[in-house]
Amino acid sequence: MGEVVDGAAESGRAVLGRALGFLREKAGKSLGQLADETGYDKSYLSRLESGERLSKVTVMEDLDGYYGCGDLLVSLWKMARIDAFKDKYKEYMRLEATARVMRVYTPDVPGLSQTEDFARAVLSGPQTTDKHPEAVDEQVAARLGRQLLLSKKPAPNVRFVIDELAFRRPSASAETWEGQLKHIEAIAQWPNIVVQVLPFSAGIHDLMGKGSLTLLWQKDGSAVAYTEGNSSGLLMDDPEDVLRHRLSYDRLRDLALSPSDSLTFIRDVLEEHRS
């Protein structure tokens, strides 16, 4: 299938679409037959093949099983999902996908820890510029796809420092917010993940009002810092810049509640929400 994946001049989504069409034709199936046998809508499958839509990864898992092609489609989907992000984020996305160590500070619920329902609520909110249902679907699928890196082998070592503000401003329905809190509680207990809450009592800090900060280290020891505000993102690989942001992060980590106290805090917020 070298002809299918040779798409250096194409977007990842176009390559995936061509692979889907190739596999279907090789199997001697029409779109109608494929729809009947997989349970997916014919027009939906057609738009996946044309590169107009980005599916959830579970759809690709199903089709990998249907065609018996290992994890080919899932692998192509992981590349295609990057197309759902603006150009300025793509290099960061590539580095995030291969990072062995991640350090994240955010005043909001981290994208890597969002549930599907919560992500949909945030991405379709009034602050977004494109509320078209299909555009939101693609953004949600891409965001959930990023979360696969948390459980890959070998799993990255990840630490989240989350501002208390994120837990005091539920941006979703009561049911969705409860599911989101339970999910953060769950991942805080994963062996490769540490979650710390930065309480209001910490006072003024280096990153207040400056958005989020992510530090990424690769297997070879190289590192980058990425800062993101409401409308801009900046990726830095200069060692001095990375060191400066690492020191800011370390100060925030020291101000935050311990991992065990943070877990207690999250559970208390969950109980308050339920009462």
Tell me how many domains the chain contains: 2
- Non-local (6+) Cβ contacts of 89 within 8 A are 233
Q: Are 164 and 198 a contacting pair, CB within 8 Å?
A: yes
Pairing of strands 157-163, 212-217: unpaired
Q: Along the 275 residues of the chain, how does pLDDT read in single tens digits?
A: 443 444 345 678 889 999 999 999 999 999 999 999 999 989 889 989 988 778 888 999 999 999 999 999 999 988 787 665 555 677 888 899 999 999 999 999 999 999 999 999 988 865 554 556 777 888 888 889 889 999 989 999 999 999 999 999 877 789 999 999 999 999 999 999 999 999 999 999 988 888 999 999 999 999 999 998 866 788 898 889 999 999 999 999 999 999 999 999 999 999 999 88
237 and 105 inside one domain: yes
Q: Which domain holds residue 17?
A: 2-82
106 and 174 inside one domain: yes
55 and 107 inside one domain: no
Helix (H, G, I), strand (E, B) or coil at 81: helix
pTM for the model stands at 0.70
112 and 155 inside one domain: yes
39 and 129 inside one domain: no
Quote the CA–CA distance of 252 and 212 in Å, as a whole number.
12
What is the DSSP code string of 124-168?
A: TSTT-S---HHHHHHHHHHHHHHGGGGGSSSPPEEEEEEETHHHH
Of 36, 59, 82, the residue at which a domain comes to its end is 82
Residue type (1 letter), 161: V
Q: What would you report as the CA-atom Rg of the chain, rounded to the nearest whole angstrom?
A: 20
198 and 252 inside one domain: yes
Q: Are 110 and 104 a contacting pair, CB within 8 Å?
A: yes
- Residue 235: beta bridge partners? 226
Of 82, 111, 145, the residue at which a domain comes to its end is 82
Assign residue 209 the CATH number of its domain: 3.30.870
65 and 196 inside one domain: no
263 and 129 inside one domain: yes
15 and 130 inside one domain: no
8 and 103 inside one domain: no
96 and 147 inside one domain: yes
